[in-house]
Amino acid sequence: MPVKSVCVYCGSRAGAMPAYAQDAQELGKNLADEGWRLVYGAGDVGLMGEVARAAQAAGGDTFGVIPQHLVDWEVGKTDLTRYIVTETMHERKKVMFMNADAVVVLPGGAGSLDELFEALTWRQLGLHSKPIVILNSGGYWDTLKALIDHVIAQGFADASLADFLSWADTPDDAMRNLRVALA
Which residue range(s) make up the domain with 144? 5-182
Q: What CATH number did the domain enclosing 87 receive?
A: 3.40.50.450
The model scores a pTM over 0.75: yes
Q: Which residues pair with residue 102 across a beta bridge?
A: 6
**Per-residue pLDDT band at 100 (split at 50, 70, 90):** very high
15 in Cβ contact with 107 (< 8 Å)? yes
SS3 39: strand
pLDDT higher than 80, residue 20: yes
**Per-residue pLDDT band at 73 (split at 50, 70, 90):** confident
Rg (CA), the chain: 15
Structural domain count, the chain:
1
Average pLDDT, integer, range 123-133:
97
Average pLDDT, integer, range 65-80:
88
- The set of residues, in sequence order, having a beta carbon less than 8 Å from that of 173 and lying 6+ positions away, is 135
Q: Residue 72's pLDDT is what?
A: 75
12 in Cβ contact with 115 (< 8 Å)? no
Q: Residue 74's pLDDT is what?
A: 67
Cα(2)–Cα(63) distance, rounded to whole angstroms? 16
Mean pLDDT of the chain: 96
What single letter denotes the amino acid at residue 60? G
